[in-house]
């Protein structure tokens, strides 16, 4: 197989001919029409020619993206691409990465240019800032100037600065030229970004200390579709050019831009242990910094680097990290969990306790309630977990915010068992799981644990185990035991004492005699029979991550399935029908509307090309269709209180079926029912939705409220109520039949219950207290309350009311669709707007249907868009109250789009199948 960079180079020749640069973001139909007008294209053939050129560029981009799959798993690569793409927004396009190129790397210019061009072709625009130390030394010495250093800083006089300027400009143009030859647009920026004062004129001469960074030239370059190539020269306010250390300039630039990644390219490819010489894979500053700085091998340059990295990351969101790598490893570092160089991040300090009361029983209980798959699937209760915990001595491991929690049971003279390993999304993305697991390995030379075969992070378990046994979808893992006979002895002990569920153990009649013999001889035995199992004593190279908990989900299904829609006359039903018309696997097979029965459904064509007509399905029809397996999923798009009879028909028809159909209800009927799963994927457990057949779709206002408040729940004052003012387009009021208004084919037409013109250009508040979405939002957000906050809130007098109260006032507005929600949230401690924004970035970073921007959200930002958007963070009352705005289209993310997310998850499809997801939809 050709190296990735070699293939990229071959592709670049073809890509450079393209009219539309492959790395630029997809502009949509509006931009295509603009191109047609600008170029004066009128004929179809001319237009198709331009579209053909665009297709070449897009094909190159897709091909290069696929090449990344050779570095890591497809899901791994796509997740990183999605996260990095979501980090940039047209209003702040420079959020992806700052890459500092060391002078030694410039001697490998071709490798550097290929790596940077690779990023460009997948639509990512880093800021490149370069030094030129070795080149400068060589030229200075050739001209007879002896370099002078004080405190490690180059003393810069007028002669030295003259040489520095010449070298910087030459090296800058070399990088630009190398990129342009590969068809990658680049813009040289040699001034106008850094303003500086003299560091110490008498001591260092013309050396600057940066006082201001102007990011506008960099953002302008990216908006123009060109990579900004920047030198580390600065100017004083009166125009004197000053020399600035490139590492320091990169750090100051990062503080201003707050990118996700700060990459330092060097010729060594990382940082190395001063005694063993081994490359350091990860440095977690919060956990390791103090100890590292005391190590005798950490001195001089290493100590300076660590100090600089800590000072830099302390100014940045926790989602930012530093990577020290070589140019050739740039793609592997950025797009795989295992990485390539040295990753430096803030991390969190870890905790370890053998007493539940130290971390708080309520906090522990909440984590179990929210994350434990056994509890979420109903096989175990929170009380049962707590009771089991007390049966043996145990140790709880985790990090300070409990983004990761692990429990190890370790009775005296017995092999320890890790009974729980539960991680939040932040724990996965920030690689906290590996830190916790490393702490466990330090304490226990041997360990057993279990995982189900459908575990999203299965590769992670295999990579960290010395051996495993899998049978009937359940796996037992261990490390520290190499002898199969010892494994069998330990397993028998687990069975006798009930320390591990028997379903995970290789015992009982399901172990065939030939397998037992093979195991006794130390040989591997494999079985593909149902109920059989697979021993592995030394796993080979399993795709996974040495840095973090791999988040690759099971391969999405592509099986064709059929959907029944009950109640399609309203706006939401129409929106869902439109989305389903583009679904690659799910066929809309039956659509019921009593008033439209017999008429053709507009905007939807069956896969065989035939039209689909409305039916008038009764409960008996639904029961029969369910019993006969005619439908794989049902969507109930009926008014509140109207769908129970159809749900019962589905349940009755499926009584004899082994595989039940999925039901998604769009009404409020089951949003407080424990038998149903509440389907808001971005906030509550996706795995629970995947395993559910009864899913209640959240309300539109409630969705926006919860997304707006959820990140702030741990920071809310327990004695105050957050308030939300929501304004919705008139489509949220629903539709009514107009008997006097019929279509051309005679079909009765629906009209809005409250027409926009009836509002006379104003808004109309309604349901000023007690709106059902108020209770809904509080009910489910209460699940996110930390233990200490929950304990501080008095129990509501009415058991039907949630513990977390939300004050909500809705209003209807004269636009068609779109909800704007403005929240005012009292905080338990003072926070800055930046800190609030970091909380949201940590909560939602990488979510494909959530957009974040600093500006206040407006209707134009959300109307017709598939996702939810937040912005306009402002602090009040001395930093103890935050006001911010969120928004979504009530017919899409507030209803139809979210419904399709839930259907996709429950049916085993990719969550976003059929949903047009790109940066323009959030």
Report whether 364 contacts 370 (CB < 8 A).
Answer: no
Please list, in sequence order, all residues whose beta carbon lies within 8 angstroms of the beta carbon of residue 49, skipping any fewer than 6 positions away: none
Handedness of CA 112, 115, 121, 127 (dihedral sign): negative
Helix H or strand E encompassing 175: helix 158-181
393: helix, strand or coil: coil
Q: Which of 700, 707, 820, 884 is catalytic?
A: 700
Helix H or strand E encompassing 679: none
Strand partners, 748: 742
- Phi-psi sector, 818: left (phi>0), alpha (psi -120 to 50), beta: left
739: helix, strand or coil: strand
Whole-Å CA distances, 510 to 467, 472, 498, 670, 764? 19, 10, 18, 41, 67
208: helix, strand or coil: strand
Q: Which two tokens stand for residue 917?
A: 């997801």
Buried b (16+ CB within 10 A) or exposed e, 311-337: ebbeebbbbbbbbbbbbbbbbbbbbbb
Distance from C-alpha of 863 to C-alpha of 859, rounded to nearest angstrom: 6
684: helix, strand or coil: coil
Calculate the CA 174 to chain-centre distance: 36
- For 531, half-sphere exposure in the C-beta direction (CA atoms, 13 angstrom radius) is 6
Report whether 253 contacts 270 (CB < 8 A).
Answer: no
Helix H or strand E encompassing 150: strand 149-150
| φ/ψ (deg, to 5) at 682 | -70, -15
784 exposed, middle or buried (CB, 10 Å; 0-12, 13-18, 19+)? buried
Helix H or strand E encompassing 612: strand 611-615
CA dihedral 435, 441, 447, 451 (to 10 degrees): 10
Distance from C-alpha of 639 to C-alpha of 627, rounded to nearest angstrom: 25
Angle at 804 between CA 802 and CA 808, to 5 degrees: 90
> 700 catalytic, yes or no?
yes
559: helix, strand or coil: coil
Whole-Å CA distances, 493 to 32, 413, 443, 509, 811? 69, 12, 21, 17, 64
DSSP conformation letters of 15-69: HTT-SS-TTSPP-HHHHHHHHHHHHT--SHHHHHHHHHHHHHHHHHHHHHHHHHT
CA neighbor of 199 nearest in space, from 248, 165, 239, 159? 248
Please list, in sequence order, all residues whose beta carbon lies within 8 angstroms of the beta carbon of residue 454, skipping any fewer than 6 positions away: 473, 554
Catalytic residues: 700
């Amino acid at each position: 197989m050709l190296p990735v960079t070699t293939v990229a180079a071959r592709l670049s020749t073809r890509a450079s001919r393209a009219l539309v640069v492959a790395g630029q973001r997809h502009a949509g139909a509006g931009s295509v029409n603009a191109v047609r007008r600008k170029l004066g294209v009128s004929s179809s053939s001319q237009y198709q020619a331009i579209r053909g050129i665009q297709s070449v560029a897009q094909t190159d981009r897709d091909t290069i993206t696929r090449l990344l799959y050779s570095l890591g798993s497809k899901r791994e690569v796509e997740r990183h691409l999605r996260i990095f793409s979501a980090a940039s927004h047209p209003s702040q396009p420079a959020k992806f990465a700052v890459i500092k190129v060391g002078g030694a790397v410039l001697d490998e210019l071709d490798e550097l240019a290929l790596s940077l061009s690779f990023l460009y072709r997948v639509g990512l625009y880093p800021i490149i800032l370069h030094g030129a130390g070795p080149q400068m030394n060589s030229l200075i010495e050739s001209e007879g100037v002896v370099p002078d250093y004080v405190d490690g800083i180059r003393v810069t006089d007028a002669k030295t600065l003259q040489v520095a300027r010449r070298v910087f400009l030459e090296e800058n143009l070399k990088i630009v030229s190398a990129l342009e030859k590969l068809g990658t647009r680049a813009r040289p920026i040699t001034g106008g970004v850094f303003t500086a004062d003299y560091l110490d004129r008498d001591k260092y001469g013309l050396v600057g200390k940066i006082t201001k960074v102007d990011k506008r030239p960099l953002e302008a370059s990216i908006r123009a579709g060109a990579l900004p190539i920047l030198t580390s020269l600065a100017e004083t306010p009166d125009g004197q050019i000053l020399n600035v250390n490139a590492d320091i300039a990169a750090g100051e630039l990062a503080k201003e831009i707050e990118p996700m990644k700060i990459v330092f390219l060097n010729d060594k490819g990382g940082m190395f242990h001063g005694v063993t010489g081994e490359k350091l894979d990860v440095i977690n500053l919060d956990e390791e910094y103090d100890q590292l700085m005391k190590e005798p091998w950490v001195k001089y340059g290493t100590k300076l680097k660590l100090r600089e990295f800590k000072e830099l990351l302390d100014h940045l969101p926790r989602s930012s990290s530093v990577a020290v790598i070589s140019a050739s490893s740039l793609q592997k570092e950025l797009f795989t969990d295992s990485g390539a160089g040295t990753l430096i991040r803030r991390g969190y300090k870890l905790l370890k306790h053998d007493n539940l009361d130290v971390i708080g029983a309520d906090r522990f209980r909440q984590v179990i309630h929210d994350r434990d798959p056994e509890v979420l699937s109903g096989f175990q209760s929170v009380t049962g977990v707590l009771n089991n915990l007390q049966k043996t001595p145990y140790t709880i491991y985790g990090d300070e915010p409990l983004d990761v929690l692990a429990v190890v049971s370790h009775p005296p003279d017995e092999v320890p068992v890790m009974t729980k390993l539960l991680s939040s999304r932040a724990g996965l993305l920030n690689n906290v799981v590996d830190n916790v697991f490393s702490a466990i390995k330090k304490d226990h030379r041997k360990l057993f644990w279990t995982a189900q075969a459908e575990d999203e992070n299965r590769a992670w378990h295999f990579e960290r185990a010395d051996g495993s046994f899998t049978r009937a979808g359940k796996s037992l893992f261990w490390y520290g035991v190499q002898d199969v006979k010892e494994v069998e002895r330990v397993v028998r002990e687990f069975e006798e004492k009930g320390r591990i569920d028997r379903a995970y153990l290789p015992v009982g009649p399901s172990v065939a005699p030939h397998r037992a013999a093979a195991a006794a001889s130390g040989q591997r035995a494999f079985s593909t029979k149902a109920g059989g199992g697979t021993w592995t004593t030394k796993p080979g190279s399993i795709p996974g991550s040495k840095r973090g908990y791999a988040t690759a989900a099971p391969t999405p299904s592509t099986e064709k399935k059929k959907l029944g829609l009950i109640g399609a006359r309203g706006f939401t039903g129409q929106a869902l029908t439109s989305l389903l018309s583009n679904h690659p696997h799910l066929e809309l097979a039956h659509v019921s509307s009593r008033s439209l029965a017999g008429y053709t459904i507009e905007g939807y064509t069956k896969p065989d090309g035939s039209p689909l007509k409305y039916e008038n399905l009764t409960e008996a029809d639904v029961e029969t269709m369910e019993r006969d397996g005619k439908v794989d999923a049902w969507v109930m798009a009926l008014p509140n209180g109207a769908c129970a009879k159809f749900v019962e028909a589905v349940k009755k028809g499926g009584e004899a079926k082994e595989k039940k159909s999925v039901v998604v209800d769009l009404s409020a009927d089951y949003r407080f029912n424990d038998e149903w799963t509440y389907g808001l994927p971005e906030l509550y457990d996706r795995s629970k939705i995947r395993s559910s057949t009864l899913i209640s779709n959240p309300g539109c206002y409630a969705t926006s409220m919860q997304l707006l408040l959820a990140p702030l729940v741990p920071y809310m004052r327990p004695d105050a109520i957050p308030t939300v003012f929501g304004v919705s387009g008139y489509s949220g009021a629903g539709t009514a039949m107009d008997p006097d208004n019929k279509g051309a084919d005679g079909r009765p037409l629906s009209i809005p219950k409250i027409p926009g013109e009836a509002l006379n250009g104003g808004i109309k508040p309604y349901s000023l207290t007690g709106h059902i979405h108020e209770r809904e939002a509080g009910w489910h957000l209460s699940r996110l309350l930390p233990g200490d906050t929950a304990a501080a809130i008095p129990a509501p007098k009415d058991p039907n009311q949630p513990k977390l109260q939300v004050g909500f006032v809705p209003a209807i507005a004269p636009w068609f669709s779109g909800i704007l929600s403005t929240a005012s949230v009292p905080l338990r401690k003072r926070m800055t707007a930046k800190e609030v924004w970091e909380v949201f970035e940590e909560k939602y970073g990488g979510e494909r249907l959530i957009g974040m921007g600093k500006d206040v959200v407006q209707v134009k930002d959300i109307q017709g868009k598939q996702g939810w958007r937040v912005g306009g963070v402002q602090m009040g009352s001395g930093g103890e109250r935050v006001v911010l705005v969120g928004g979504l289209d009530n017919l899409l993310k507030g209803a139809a789009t979210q419904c399709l997310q839930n259907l996709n998850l429950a049916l085993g499809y990719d969550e976003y199948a059929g949903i047009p997801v790109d940066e323009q939809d959030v």
